[in-house]
Structure 1
């Protein structure tokens, strides 16, 4: 099936990411409305979860830049995924690649990089997805005048103070991007798109910069993606969402990224327990307006990649969002694919490393995505399907930083047991959120361990016995002191300048209250058994904390330690 599509170049799939309110929706809406306003059939289609912009519409929008190369352009258009941006990385295509071939990262020129922008940059780096930056809301710059849709033409007409403000904000954002390891420049100044990320200033309100944005997207697609966009003929895709309504019953929205789908096709959905779906109906919105307002659909017999489509069929209710699927044409092929899938699952799964966290995912694509995302983290086990009792037992014996169970899109019947055993459980169906929570948890664990380490760290002090503040000469001696350096702790052994141990701090008091420690410049009273003031120690004498050789070697490695005081004590004790 779909022989006529084999070898054809499909549209690159483009996703739009960025911080909330930075203009993602406005930008996509302008693209849709620009093409729809031309009132020409076939130039834009609103698929399920996607907007397909035909190359003829793009040539109109960016005619000045593309007219001289239009005969060389091989891609038939661009397919914009309308789903939340990160879903393009949650649902993975085969072999661990993201659905998106290209991405647009939207950044508000007036706000710069925000938390969700940072998350998006991490995701794009992790999945090595080519991207362009849409620097939005330039129309909000004070004094900005919109006289042309082409940014370069319009920029020349701006006043000098507006240009200065623009460049100040642009350079600030370029600097922020470099802090994340990305070299970037305004699109017109880039010589090598493999080394720098293109920044396209634009506005989703006025449409300024949209021609430039399309030009860069087409250029990147032509240069880097054409060889990866050839349709193989075999229908393959990813399930985006499961739905149920009164008219259609159970149905699923999918992105078809390769080959062709036809009514009557049977799909193998790649789950821990594979599911076969028989396609009874393929549906697309009847128009751009209908998908938003009336929710009307039209039946189609066949569809080719790349596209979004709604599928009605047998066993749809058994599938999971994020799962991959492919068309099977015969029982022999079905058996072959099941064996290959089982073999691939086994080859991708990780089992019984001595140390590490445990990963669980609902399907092979999700597991590959998890393993890819957690690259650099020790993984003890990575499996398809829900966690087991054996997972909990295995995690009991690992080190604290690896006592983690990650559940991506799977039920977890052992949540309470895991929590009771001190195992950190992180679960959900948005993959980057899992990694984000894991990183935050690790940071918090490090912070707590550091605090514990500091608490356990041997404290050293240099103190002076204050003149006129002897409260008792002996049994025990009680005297007023000042901490000249370091921290004096209850229980500390004290030495004099000759290195002789003269006693132990039994108790510390300040303003009538017993305390555990006294910090630098603090004054208080200490009690020292088995010494007499005037014999072993005298008023105004300087004393130090005693440390062993081993404690000295360990304290040398702590940044928090007063190094000057440590070396002074070392010299007194004559440690080499």
Structure 2
């Protein structure tokens, strides 16, 4: 049946009830194949409906709905989960990770997976430190956890040694996406609330995520050693959010702890295991191909692409062909949280996997494929689907009628951004937070590229072509790349704490930026030798690459383009046996960095000072 002519073209018409399923990011050509129509005809129909698009351009859901209504089709967008399932079904790979459909004889007990949640600065990282005795907060900007890690600890419970896996989620509200994902892979959530501070907005936000994921909650009332601590007040406040303490007749276990003093940590772990045993059926089939989730991923100079994965079912072995998101490869090695090699990883075990072709995104599912060829085919199909979905997301929707008016009034302004970070979780969380900034219809924010690792020449060329600003989160552009960016006028903004980036971008979008301090680079030196001194610590034997190095200035240390230390003092400078105040480009010198001793050959020492500059 042909539709009445629209603009001189005819297309097959539905009866209003004909359902057409379309995946995210599909194009007009994809839709045309489904209804046996000529793509050019659909482009014309869309034009008459006030939308301009090419036949191969990815469209968003609203545009497809408008087109479907006009032609008498009920458009249903296939969710990413359904699309994923169809993809794996075509390769005869089972994606199920639960215990449904499994034979009871095949199921074995597995450790609980625990996520620590709560308000910023309520002591989540300090609590994890107390649990696993590792200093995490010391190396993090602003004391905020910047990316996810996973760790397994052991605790004796009722005479049996039990393992517990902890997922360390970031603390700031900008990492909502990662925290929500943490709750999805989690069996139990520990909600940390400071006894001296009470229930805060992020406490409620974390609580909502855990409850939405139907995850049992154990409340750790932290900082009970601090003056003004009132644990009973926390119990009263949380009753408003359906968390009633056992001592009040409820079902939620509350444990008063002091992460700083290491007090009651054992009782907290006991509460976790008791809750797991009482509320959950934690079993999995380990005798099958592994399935799970990539919790974190980054690019390591010596090891290549690495991913921290959490096994949800099955056993992962060295030599397995795996697919994680759009990355694929063969497991070359697996490392535990202490850096030790492991040959096999069982359910609920977090391991770092080496051997992937590229860096997957945090939260991507991973599966073991029958062979390398199948793994590569699945990864390529996933990548193509992701690319089309992101094109649809990035497409700027504006009708023909509005476009002329908006251009005439000069109202259409677009801020293009390129995001680069040290790990994929940070990049994803930053992207999610930036896209949620609401500045009305006058400004459009588009993220045209994102990635992990140092800022490359490709990033700078893309920024030049699209008038974009590059955001570097714990990574930098160095050497020739930095010079090209400066020469071509490409703005690169560097951040080490995520909410500073969000605040500045929001202010820029709202045109509210105030005068600020600008970082001015004074000089850079490359480490050629490291000398040990009992009196001064490590002395960096360096050659000055650009500008001049001055004693008393601040410096940052970068390794392969990634910032490893900020705000380091140049405590001393020597030329041969003489103390000097400055050393110019081309000369060699010895640099004393005060108490900072974590140096490696080829590290770059960059000195800078802050100068006030009025904003344009």
TM-score by length of 2: 0.42
**Higher helix proportion:** 1
Give the greater-gyration-radius structure (CA). Answer: 1
**Higher strand proportion:** 2
TM-score by length of 1: 0.45
